[in-house]
Chain A
């Protein structure tokens, strides 16, 4: 399979970037999108050119490191991570546009690599439970009903890849933030910090320069883990509840 790739190349964070065309031949349809880029990079290195920089780690769709906008869609045409997107979803002779996540809160570091540490600071503002260290507590001491456990797990699936921010026309992190708020606020372990968590995380999200939610639903469509759009409604409810209670604990 032969493809024409138009890839965003940017040497440094401050340098101006541009879409650059590459003709890539000998692509197998069984390659993942990242393997296809590896293939391109090998050719670039042999030709003495700078390889395309991109983030990747597990390549199993579970770590959230990879992510690029392919033909205008975060993680490309399939609902999965870029590493799990296979070249069989493209046709011979296609022109494919590859761009980094675009958001003020995610500055480009190089080529397709963006700085997503804003997410870490949002998590650091309440996306945790404070527990005493020591031996593991007795598992039956805190019963969690099955539907609650399922709800929490559904939202714990978020891998923090940033596709929601990349897909949102406002560069909003509402889906990401709501995944963690719903996950922890659903559980008894998260209850003591229920109010401070949502207030802290929404405050951090705003401070990082993410946009607001206009309910376009682009985030949930792009999410490789299927975090539902209605989780944003749950976070809004938690935020208003916590605001009315003045942010005090339960």
Chain B
């Protein structure tokens, strides 16, 4: 009797749905949500990074002091530099997840449209069409940027604890400045489509809020691009030296 009633209950039970992480990562919608969340994390960091960079205009003393302070955030609860390392791990994971999801989704998207139209038409905006290669350019730039100003491997000054002098030495090389400015323009384009797209992906968008998110995306893109480019322009014009 017990066995029989047991099998009855099994027969009427609804199928179990897969785990949250499994169902999210396996679906295109969920993977996009991962891209949106990691994108927003990186965007929030970039706003803080850009604002911090602007301290360069207050001189070497203040900028280097700011650089040293970042290493003390969270003390005494956190050990020296721990906040910095937590931020690095979070950002590193965000970049990797964002990139892996983008790669997997792009492969899928290309496979979903194997035949092209004979009558080709220009589609979507420039920012939208350049998301994939723009993302690749940004990833390569991040590698260069870390080698230049974090590990100081390719920095001509390479003095630990003197970010101001390292920065000025780096931007004294015109090709580096040009590369930096191009990367920041790519960043602006990426954010212009990416921020609104994240709002759409996370379900925050609606017909009523669409304009707001588009305006916000453009404002963020403009603010970050101009803010970041201001530093090499400052070095080029001699305002920062």
- Which residues of chain A have a CB within 8 Å of any CB of chain B? 6, 8, 19, 69, 71-73, 97, 99, 102-105, 168-172, 174, 196, 199, 202-203, 205-206, 209-218, 228-230, 232-241, 243-244, 246-248
Contact = CB atoms under 8 A, between A and B. Distances in A.
Most chain A Cβ neighbours within 10 Å, of B108, B193, B197, B204: B108
Contacts of A102: 113, 115-117
A229 to B, nearest CB: 8
Contacts of A215: 128, 193, 196-197, 200-201
A97 B202 contact: no
Contacts of B120: 72
Contact of B124 (A99, A218, A237): A218
A218 B29 CA distance: 18
B39 to A, nearest CB: 12
A214 B112 contact: no
B113 A236 contact: no
Contacts of A218: 123-124
Contacts of B32: 212-213, 236
Contacts of B9: none
B151 interface: no
Contact of A212 (B109, B123, B128, B196): B109
A236 B23 contact: no
Interface of B: 17, 20, 23-24, 26-33, 105, 108-121, 123-124, 128, 131, 193, 196-197, 199-207, 210
Nearest to A209: B112
Given A6-B118, A239-B30, A240-B33, A232 B200 contact: yes
B200 A171 contact: no
Given A170-B109, A240-B33, A240-B203, 7 more contacts: A104-B112, A170-B110, A202-B27, A212-B108, A229-B200, A236-B201, A239-B29
3 A-B pairs with least C-beta separation? A237-B203, A211-B112, A247-B17
